[in-house]
């Protein structure tokens, strides 16, 4: 009996997993159908090409934002430098 109950628990668990996967696949299918419908329009094709290849229309200007890798180090260093003077001043006023 215990073995049967364990198998039923496994079956219920597997069914839930399969139902969740089926729902995920259905959502993915709907998103893909929307993408296909969008690509069947000239606006959708243009948007896709612009996103994929970073193209601009004639007369438009592009701005490329590059993350400064040193920025994080500078912020961390300034936080380290500013903590101890803060702590020192905190105890000075007591």
pLDDT tens profile 36-90 = 999 999 999 999 988 888 787 888 887 778 887 777 665 555 555 666 677 777 7
- CA–CA distance from 34 to each of 11, 21, 28, 39, 47 (Å)? 35, 20, 10, 9, 14
**pLDDT value, residue 94:** 62
The count of domains in the chain is 1
As a whole number, mean pLDDT of residues 15-22 equals: 98
pTM (2 decimals)? 0.49
Give the residue numbers spanning the domain of 9: 2-92
């Amino acid at each position: 009996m215990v073995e049967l109950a364990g198998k039923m628990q496994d079956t219920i668990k597997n069914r839930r997993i399969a139902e969740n996967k089926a729902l995920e696949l259905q959502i993915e299918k709907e998103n893909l159908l929307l993408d296909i419908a969008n690509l069947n329009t000239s606006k959708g094709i243009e948007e896709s090409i612009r996103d994929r290849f970073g193209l601009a229309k004639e007369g438009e200007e592009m701005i490329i934002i590059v993350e400064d890798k040193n920025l994080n180090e500078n912020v961390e260093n300034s936080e380290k430098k500013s903590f101890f003077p803060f702590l020192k001043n905190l105890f000075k006023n007591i």
